[in-house]
Amino acid sequence: MADINIVQAHSLAPEQARAAAQQVADKLAEQFELSCRWDGDVLRFERSGVHGALTLQPGQAEVRIALGFPLSMMAGQVEAKVSEKMRKLFIG
């Protein structure tokens, strides 16, 4: 099992941060067939072998992903893609 943790600073207003988080989740859902749901300021996502959350806080967004064994071999690729997407959406 592999764990990915990415923290991205931002200066977005809460509604802008939520929209950016939704875009990250939409991309993850598309690429990895995840189901997503909001729980307050936490966007939870999961599917067999993957679960995680994107948490919004003032000034930062944090994503934590736990990959099961089959996907753990792709942890580096997953982390790079998620990190790049978060940088683009939260920084610009």
How far is the C-alpha of 20 from the C-alpha of 48, rounded, in Å? 25
Q: In the chain, which stretches have pLDDT less than 70?
A: none
Domain CATH for 13? 3.30.310.80
Residue 67 makes CB contacts below 8 A (sequence gap 6+) with 1, 2, 3, 4, 49, 50, 74, 75, 78
**pLDDT (tens digit, 9 = 90+) per residue, 18-33?**
999 999 888 888 888 8
pLDDT at site 29: 85
pLDDT at site 31: 82
pLDDT at site 39: 96
- Could you tell me the residue range of the domain that residue 58 belongs to? 2-91
Instruction: Supply the pTM of this predicted model.
Output: 0.89
Structural domain tally of the chain?
Answer: 1
Q: Which two tokens stand for residue 83?
A: 């990190």
pLDDT at site 28: 80
